[in-house]
């Protein structure tokens, strides 16, 4: 596990450098190269998620797994997840849509208490599967709504 953490630290340094260079390189790249850069960023992000998952599994096995509870906006988490997979979706012609069934529910959806990193981790897992199984020129829709668990039968 310690070796994995060291490798992970090196990877995170690479991601940090890549993100800084990404902004510098955009102005110098030809338009057709931009999607390739985005796909590379997506790949790094997915690798980071996989390593985080493996580290979390190690923490679970050792009984030291923790959640970072804080208030966060679920629509913002969805927006961030979409930005991570956007270039891959665009390359397949897949439209990404998030909708909120009832705008009054924003009060609840913008003030969830939980671990936003875990939420995006779960959401990216769902979205990566959706990307795999959605045909070209298809559509992925995420619907956000408040559910009243007291009235669920």
> What confidence category does residue 117 fall into, taking pLDDT thresholds of 50, 70 and 90?
confident
Share of the chain above pLDDT 90, in %: 22
What pLDDT shows up at residue 31? Answer: 64
User: What is the three-class DSSP state of 143?
Assistant: strand
The per-residue pLDDT for 151 is 66
What residue spans define the domains of the chain? Answer: 1-65, 67-145
**Could you say which architecture CATH assigns to the domain 67-145?**
2-Layer Sandwich (3.30)
Instruction: State how far the Cα of 38 lies from the Cα of 82, in Å rounded to an integer.
Output: 13
Nearest-angstrom CA–CA distance, 35 and 90:
9
Tell me the whole-structure pTM to 2 decimals: 0.62
Contact by Cβ (8 Å): 79, 116: no
């Amino acid at each position: 596990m310690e070796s994995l953490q060291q490798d992970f630290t090196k990877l995170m340094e690479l991601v940090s450098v890549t993100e800084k260079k990404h902004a510098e390189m955009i102005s110098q790249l030809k338009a057709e190269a931009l999607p390739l850069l985005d796909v590379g960023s997506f790949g790094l992000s997915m690798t980071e998620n996989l390593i985080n998952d493996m580290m979390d599994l190690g923490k679970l096995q050792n009984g030291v797994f923790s959640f970072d509870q804080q208030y966060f906006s679920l629509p913002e988490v969805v927006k961030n997840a979409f930005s991570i997979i956007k270039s891959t979706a665009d390359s397949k012609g897949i439209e990404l849509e998030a909708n909120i069934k009832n705008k009054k529910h924003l009060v609840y959806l913008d003030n969830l208490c939980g671990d936003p990193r875990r939420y995006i981790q779960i959401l990216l897992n769902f979205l990566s599967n959706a990307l795999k199984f959605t045909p070209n020129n298809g559509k992925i829709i995420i619907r956000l709504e408040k559910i009243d668990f007291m009235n669920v039968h």
